[in-house]
Amino acid sequence: MKKKTLALATAFALGTGLSMSVTSVTANEDQVWFGGFAEYYDADKDKFNFPVDDESGLGAGLELGTRFSESWGGRIEVARINLDSFPGQAQIDGTRIGFDALYFPWQSNTYLFAGLKEEKLDRRYGLANLGVGHHWALNDKWRIITELAAYHDFGQSHKDYSAKLGVAYLFGGSSYGASTPADSDNDGVPNSKDACPNTPRGQAVDARGCALQADTPNNAQADSDKDGILDAHDECPNTPMTDKVDSKGCSMFTESQESVNMAVLFANDSSEIRNPRHEDIVRFADFMKRYPDLHAEIEGHTSAPGDASYNQGLSERRANAVRQLLISDYGISAARLQAVGYGETRLLDKANTAAAHAKNRRISASLVATKKVKVHR
């Protein structure tokens, strides 16, 4: 019995160990997955009416599941079991088929499950099962499955156990970051690469998103943005008509105080940014580029469930993830951004509901700093 228990624990530990380097992610949309698995199955020693050298064996199967809310899901499963399937022993072959209800108590990828199964070995068995499992996210679509389960035989109260290791492909949720990059002025150049935002509609632009000038003898005298500085000397093209400019054609500023907030929603228990091209992020990055002397503090916040110290660390990782996104994808100087985690200390909604937890998992990119305000003509 000790040998079987050790093998069962080893199988589950192997699945866990192989998955410790991946990130746990939960999407808020409905999810459907299809997976295959291998399992170690340990049958009750008194289950069969004939001598069996070893009631344990190996199995394999398929499952189709869905997660229709943060807390609930379900699946159907079919498996092939080979007991006494080790060299030199006779085999007891059979199948198991049934369904499970899945409960995600922490709105993470860890779940409890219970279900009903029909098992055919030497004869038919009606089973009820309980267990615990976790889906480990390799990326947006692929998951590693690890589970431990216990089975109760309705007929003779036998107890079976199993450990599962599998892989699943996710059909539901979103492939984040795959959407078309934002292009606010519709000039064909994404905002992240557009050096001249707000180009007039229909204006021909170069690869940087700046207006192309006609190749005419009068081109040297052109002043496209009508700011009084010829294009040949204008270091800030497309300055708004309302702005007063300096000798370089750039908007003039005075000192003022202002606050700007940005919200980024995270999946539970993850520092992966699910919408790196969301308009809020693009708008904030454009704002930072418009005011190059401005500094910002990226604040990370989590929901209340879980250990406070763990939530503190998670909030810090989230804040740093947004900071790194603004640096690497949007070209904001690292010296202008500071990441701070507040954990669960600043909840927006203190109710113990899934909606409240989702609302509290957020990023606030706030700044209350001295910035330059344009001087109008």
pLDDT tens by residue, 269-279: 778 888 888 88
Looking at the fold, whether 353 and 318 belong to one and the same domain comes out as yes
How many Å apart are CA 188 and CA 207, to the nearest integer? 9
Q: Are the CB atoms for 291 and 372 separated by under 8 Å?
A: yes
- Is residue 319 in a domain? yes
- Which domain range does residue 188 map to? 179-212
How many Å apart are CA 244 and CA 251, to the nearest integer? 6
How many Å apart are CA 171 and CA 150, to the nearest integer? 29
- Low pLDDT (below 50) residues in the chain: 1-29, 85-86, 174-180, 215-217
Looking at the fold, whether 22 and 150 belong to one and the same domain comes out as yes
Q: Enter the tokens of residue 27.
A: 């999407």
Q: What is the CATH number of the domain that holds 21?
A: 2.40.160.20
pLDDT score of 301: 83
Q: Is 191 exposed, middle or buried (0-12, 13-18, 19+ CB in 10 A)?
A: buried
How many CA atoms lie within 13 Å of 227's alpha carbon, on the beta-carbon side? 27
pLDDT score of 248: 83
- Is residue 63 in a domain? yes
- pTM strictly above 0.75: no
- Is residue 57 in a domain? yes
**Residue 373 contacts by C-beta under 8 Å, 6 or more apart in sequence?**
253, 254, 255, 256, 258
Looking at the fold, whether 221 and 161 belong to one and the same domain comes out as no
How many Å apart are CA 70 and CA 191, to the nearest integer? 34
Looking at the fold, whether 14 and 125 belong to one and the same domain comes out as yes
Give the count of domains, the chain: 4
pLDDT score of 168: 95
pLDDT score of 11: 41
Looking at the fold, whether 224 and 260 belong to one and the same domain comes out as no
Q: Enter the tokens of residue 195.
A: 């050096």
pLDDT score of 16: 39
For the chain, first and last CA: distance in Å? 87
- Is residue 221 in a domain? yes
Tokens 């998670």 identify what position?
Answer: 314
